[in-house]
Amino acid sequence: ENVVHRDLKLGNIVLNQHTRKVTLTNFCLGKHLMNENDLLKDQRGSPAYISPDVLSGKPYLGKPSDMWALGVVLFTMLYGIFPFYDSVPQELFRKIKSVEFTIPGSDGRVSESSNMIIRNLLNANPTQRMTAEQVLDALSCIAATRWSSSSRDNDLQVVPVYVSPTTSQETTNKAEDKSISLQGAIEETSALDLRLNSSSVYLPIISSQKEFIRPKKKKSHQGFSFPICHINEDAQPLTQSDIQSLRHILPSTSHQ
């Protein structure tokens, strides 16, 4: 609160590229004011950034003088040149006191809103200069507007991938082949389902015939082997043909 830097310039501003945090350094000429309306009498600052208030030789307000220097910083960052420059110090100070500067012709990269901030900071009347809070609000609005405009522009700059006619035709042929193969597979599957459904109509629920599962023959303890029959229905009396087929394993008395 109520701290004036009095040597605000690009050389005393540090940007952390990772955190995007801006830090002011070198407060050697800074001063803590008991009240923001306290007047300063000494002339301090760097020639290119010094305000006309300091050059007037009269007591001046510290905060508006810092805001003038901020206007020089902003101008230099946007255009790469100082708004006030001359190799002769006396001529440089004359230009500053008369607020003699020209904003370069805009090529679209710097908005008129940004130029308006510069004009309101580089104002000869210290009481009419923008405050730090006003500059922050104005820059926030400009950043939000440019971000929104950039997002819309990016949406409009969607360029489709170029596909040569040959590649396009090959892709179409492959797609048609896959479509034909798929259609054929569907037709075959449908035909198979139809056959299965048709044949299932004639399948009996319970078979009337005995189903025998004949495992591999194994040698019995009596020295001969015989088939083991598994019946998947209730036990039924032996028919005469069954007796004849099994006569060789019946006791000898059964032959009587």
Active site residues: 7
Spatial contact of 106 and 112, defined as CB atoms under 8 Å apart: yes
